[in-house]
Amino acid sequence: MLYSKLFGKTSKTVSADEESINAQYLIRGGFINKQMAGIYNYLPLGLRVLTKIQNIIREEMLAADANEILMPSLTQEESYKTTGRDNMDVLFRSEGHGGTKYVLNPTHEEVVTPLVQRYVFSYQDLPLGVFQIQNKYRNEARAKSGILRGREFNMKDLYSFHTDEASLNEYYEVMKKVYHKIYDRLGLGELTILTYASGGAFSRYSHEFQTLCAVGEDTIFTCEKCKIGINKEIISEQTTCPECGNVDLVEKNGIEVGNIFKLRTKFSSAFNFKYSDAAGQEQLVEMGCYGMGPSRIMGTLVEVFHDDNGIVWPESVAPFKYHLIALGKEDETFEMAQKLYKTMTANGIEVLFDDRRELTAGAKFADADLLGLPVRMIISKKTLEKQSVEIKKRNSDQSELEPIENYL
């Protein structure tokens, strides 16, 4: 991508009501644009990051044999009456022609349960996992943490369907591992811990995945030995580590980047979703749900990986790998940069080429630091004399010269 052609440029300032680091850097870098509180536009750079996060999640879901689908955002209010969730305070509602009442889905149990019910009849159709990556709508009371808490936000939601509790438990344990693998690939593995949280009425616990971070809204008590946490909301009933019994728990802050639940038969009983077992008896389907927030993860990455000058993206989700800069006014230097850009791009390497000729070196470096691409590549009269480029990683202060021919 040529920077001159990029829609969404860097800016030095951001409106005073953006308190969070993620919103400040993402807006200043031209990744996102705020439409109103909790509602953001994703510009090309931001969309590239979001898409990479989604694709890592998608790959791991597909590898676990889950089926990708896309459900509608709008649903008839009636479905929420069926499950008794029509008075949730986060619901955005709408009214259509003839007084039809709609809900903008905050999650999709009311859609997926009757959908899967139309295709599953026998124990032979189970277990089954379906997921989607789609925007959710929640009338959140506070939306002050940038894209960590949106009123419209992106979610991967997986739902699993089973003949019995044992099958649900088995799938649930597999998903814990899949989730850890996803956070590893996103660069968050070291910081993200499985956390016991309240489970609602149908299971003692649910499990959250909390990324440890000082600005996280959640308070968790961690067992340093087991690398797990207990959400403060359940600490009165669980004061020791549920895995090793350790009483020496350490209080920390976390950002909830995922949450998995055993729904059991809560939704299948509401919709009377049954299958026939091997003996021909009708039984309620057991269900699990597994949420993960790509847009919140994008904000979390910025909160966790930044310095005073800007973002430091992990390579797996960076919008481009290389930030190519040509210094000086010489045509020769600029032409070599153009050649590098064309060749590398043709070879499938992701390069953002800052092709602005009027800008000072300092301004270009400041933008490179703000955007946070993993590798800065500089070509100047001096490097050209040595047939080299200067390579500097965003997360290091060291730079080194490398032969240009390595990249041509």
Q: Which parts of this chain interact with Mg ion (CB under 5 A)? A: 259
Q: Which of 259, 380, 383, 388 binds ligand ATP (CB under 6 A)?
A: 259
Contacted entry of Mg ion, ligand ATP, none for residue 183, CB cut-off 5 to 8 Å set by kind? none
Query: What is the Cβ-side half-sphere exposure of residue 379, based on CA atoms within 13 angstroms?
Result: 26
Residue nearest to Mg ion (CB): 259
Q: Which of 146, 216, 229, 291 binds ligand ATP (CB under 6 A)?
A: 291
Of 112 and 155, which has the nearer Cβ to ligand ATP? 155
Calpha distance 171→355 (Å, rounded): 50
Question: % helix / strand / coil in the chain, to the nearest 5?
Answer: 35, 30, 35
Preceding amide of 319 cis, omega within 30: no
Give me the least distance between CB of 136 and ligand ATP, in Å please. Answer: 7
In 3D space, the residue among 332, 339, 340, 338 whose CA is nearest the CA of residue 382 turns out to be 332
Q: Which of 138, 162, 306, 364 binds ligand ATP (CB under 6 A)?
A: 138
Amino acid at 40: Y
Give me the least distance between CB of 63 and ligand ATP, in Å please. Answer: 21
Q: Which of 107, 117, 192, 388 binds ligand ATP (CB under 6 A)?
A: 107
Contacted entry of ligand ATP, Mg ion, none for residue 140, CB cut-off 5 to 8 Å set by kind? ligand ATP
The reply to whether 117 sits near ligand ATP by the rule CB under 6 A is no
Pattern of binders to ligand ATP over 67-86, x per CB under 6 A?
Answer: --------------------
Q: Which residues pair with 186 in a beta bridge?
A: none
Adjacency order of strands within the sheet including 74-76:
74-76, 101-104, 92-95
Please give the structure tokens belonging to residue 112: 């997926």
Please give the structure tokens belonging to residue 305: 């990986």
What's phi and psi for 84, nearest 5 deg?
Answer: 75, 15
Residue ranges in 140-179 that form contacts with ligand ATP under rule CB under 6 A: 140, 149-150, 153, 155
Give me the least distance between CB of 278 and ligand ATP, in Å please. Answer: 35
Please give the structure tokens belonging to residue 85: 């969730």
The reply to whether 296 sits near ligand ATP by the rule CB under 6 A is yes
**Per-position DSSP letters for 163-174, written without gaps between them:** SSHHHHHHHHHH
Pattern of binders to ligand ATP over 17-46, x per CB under 6 A?
Answer: ------------------------------
Of 178 and 349, which has the nearer Cβ to Mg ion? 178
Calpha distance 148→136 (Å, rounded): 13
Residue ranges binding ligand ATP (CB under 6 A): 107, 138, 140, 149-150, 153, 155, 256-259, 291-293, 295-296
